[in-house]
């Protein structure tokens, strides 16, 4: 809206000449403020576009933009005009209120992006937090990452044990002394087939490093020049055989939506969906009302 207003800056005085009731002609100082704010909010406009999608945004996309917001807020407080400083201080107060504590899900999701790994945390946290705080937050994220991974390892081992207990002694569902497979018309498993099946399911070989250690020690993935959009979930799908357990954890974390609130509501001048008069409605009732409203909007355009 501000960018559009700037394009028609010369129209406002002409409009005042034609309409005597027009009393709110912006002064030259006002236009300077509009220009400053428009330039300042350009980053937020791009960030809004990134997180407003409904199909592609995964939770790994948020932290790289978050630290840049903090950086531009700090810069604006130092070098901005008195007008933008007053606005930025209020924005920074709200930013620190919501992001003063580390968001572990967003941080872990950023690490599970092969373009970032732990390097992004070490790069961004000193910008978002004070020096002493950032060091503690980095340690907290690392410990939480390993703790979460160990839970997935434990769950995987329990699942494998239960599978072996419910199956036969061979663990592959095939009894070489039985003719049941032949009687049912199924093909006999060859030696190659049995070995391939064994390799797909075996996890008995203990490596000196865990999957998480191997992933973090590997080189950071560098996107090609013609790679305009990187799909983190597709990368983990491709590397599923290399990271059997970690890929499962990555898919669970990355599939968490960045936000459940439409970005437009942040800039809306209207009231909240659930006001004081509707605060006692049940969750299902609210969902039904919102769904019905959406259907009506679609039906009548």
pLDDT band at 60 (very low <50, low <70, confident <90, very high): confident
pLDDT at 180: 46
CA dihedral 29, 33, 35, 40 (to 10 degrees): 160
CA dihedral 277, 282, 283, 285 (to 10 degrees): -90
Location of structure tokens 């865990």: 210
**What is the chain's length?**
301
The answer to whether 112 touches 144, Cβ cutoff 8 Å, is: no
The answer to whether 47 touches 59, Cβ cutoff 8 Å, is: no
More confident residue, 28 or 43: 28
pLDDT at 134: 87
* Mean of pLDDT over the chain: 80
Residues 6+ positions from 173 with CB-CB distance below 8 Å = 167
pLDDT at 200: 65
Query: What does the block give as tokens for 125?
Result: 């946290």
pLDDT at 236: 93
pLDDT digits (tens, 9 = 90+) for 148-197: 999 999 998 888 888 777 764 444 444 444 444 445 555 677 777 777 77
Distance CA 182, CA 177 (A): 11
Instruction: Please say if the pLDDT value at position 12 is more than 60.
Output: yes
Query: 55-65 as b/e, with b when 16 or more CB fall inside 10 Å?
Result: eeebbbbbbbb
pLDDT band at 42 (very low <50, low <70, confident <90, very high): confident
pLDDT at 130: 82
Average the pLDDT over 62-86 and give the result: 86
Indicate the angle between helix axes 117-128 and 131-166, nearest 10 degrees.
Answer: 150
Distance CA 39, CA 30 (A): 14
Average the pLDDT over 83-100 and give the result: 86
How many other C-beta atoms can be found within 10 angstroms of the C-beta atom of residue 42? Answer: 13
pLDDT digits (tens, 9 = 90+) for 203-243: 544 556 889 999 999 988 888 766 667 888 899 999 998 99
Instruction: Please say if the pLDDT value at position 293 is more than 50.
Output: yes
In degrees, to the nearest 5, what angle opens at C-alpha 197 toward C-alphas 195 and 200? 110
pLDDT at 40: 85
The answer to whether 88 touches 76, Cβ cutoff 8 Å, is: yes
What percent of the chain is modeled with pLDDT above 70? 79
pTM over 0.95: no
CA terminus-to-terminus distance, the chain: 24
pLDDT at 154: 92
pLDDT at 207: 54
Location of structure tokens 């005085």: 13
Average the pLDDT over 79-101 and give the result: 85
């Amino acid at each position: 809206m501000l960018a559009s207003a700037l394009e028609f800056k010369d129209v406002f005085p002409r409009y005042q000449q034609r309409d005597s009731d027009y009393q709110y002609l912006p002064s030259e100082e006002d236009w300077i403020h509009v220009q400053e704010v428009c330039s300042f909010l350009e980053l937020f406009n791009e960030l809004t576009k990134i997180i407003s999608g409904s199909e592609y945004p995964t939770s790994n996309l948020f932290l790289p933009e978050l630290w840049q917001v903090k950086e531009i807020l700090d810069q604006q407080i130092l070098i901005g005009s008195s007008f933008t400083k007053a606005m930025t201080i209020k924005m920074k107060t709200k930013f620190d209120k919501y992001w003063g504590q580390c968001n572990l899900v967003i941080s872990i999701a950023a690490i599970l992006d092969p373009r970032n790994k732990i390097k992004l945390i070490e790069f961004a946290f000193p910008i978002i937090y004070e020096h002493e705080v950032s060091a503690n937050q980095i340690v907290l994220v690392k410990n939480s990452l390993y703790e979460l991974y160990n839970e997935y390892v434990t769950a995987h081992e329990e699942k494998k044990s239960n599978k072996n207990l419910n199956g036969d002694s061979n663990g592959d569902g095939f009894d070489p002394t039985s003719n049941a497979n032949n009687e049912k018309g199924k093909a006999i498993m060859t030696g190659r087939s049995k070995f391939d099946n064994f390799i797909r399911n075996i996890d008995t070989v203990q490596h000196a490093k865990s999957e998480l250690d191997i992933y973090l020690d590997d080189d950071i993935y560098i996107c090609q020049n013609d790679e305009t959009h990187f799909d983190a979930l597709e990368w983990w799908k491709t590397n599923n055989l290399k990271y059997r357990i970690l890929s499962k954890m990555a898919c669970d974390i990355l599939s968490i939506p960045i936000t459940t609130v439409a970005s437009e509501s942040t800039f809306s001048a209207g009231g909240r969906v659930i006001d004081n008069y509707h605060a006692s409605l049940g969750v299902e009732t609210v969902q039904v009302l919102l769904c019905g409203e959406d259907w009506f909007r679609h039906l009548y355009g």
